[in-house]
Amino acid sequence: MYAVVTTGGRQYRVSPGDTIDVEKLTGAVGDTVALTNVQLVGQGAEVTIGAPAVAGVRVEAQITAQKRGKKKSLSSSTGGAKVIVASKGIANP
């Protein structure tokens, strides 16, 4: 049996016993969470596709770790030139 669940804007194919890395979920390590946005459920040749989600189906998952990702820098450069927009036009200092 497998399912396709959506969490954090991404889709994951999961089966019983799988371990996946997802965005941070509300809860502590060891807590069980229910992933209710199940897009597809399959078992053998039988497949159920939701529109947009399969009704009455949820995936139970246990939080095994909460970790922080690598820090991202949001600065950007414009080639070293600073531009100031004045009310009369554009001026370079």
Is the model's pLDDT at 89 over the cut of 60? no
Of the candidates 24, 20, 4, 23, the residue with the CA atom closest to the CA atom of residue 61:
20
Per-residue model confidence as pLDDT tens digits over 20-67: 888 888 888 899 999 999 999 999 899 999 988 999 999 999 999 888
Is the pTM higher than 0.85?
A: no
Of the candidates 59, 51, 66, the residue with the CA atom closest to the CA atom of residue 2:
59
- In this structure, the strands spanning 2-7 and 89-91 are unpaired
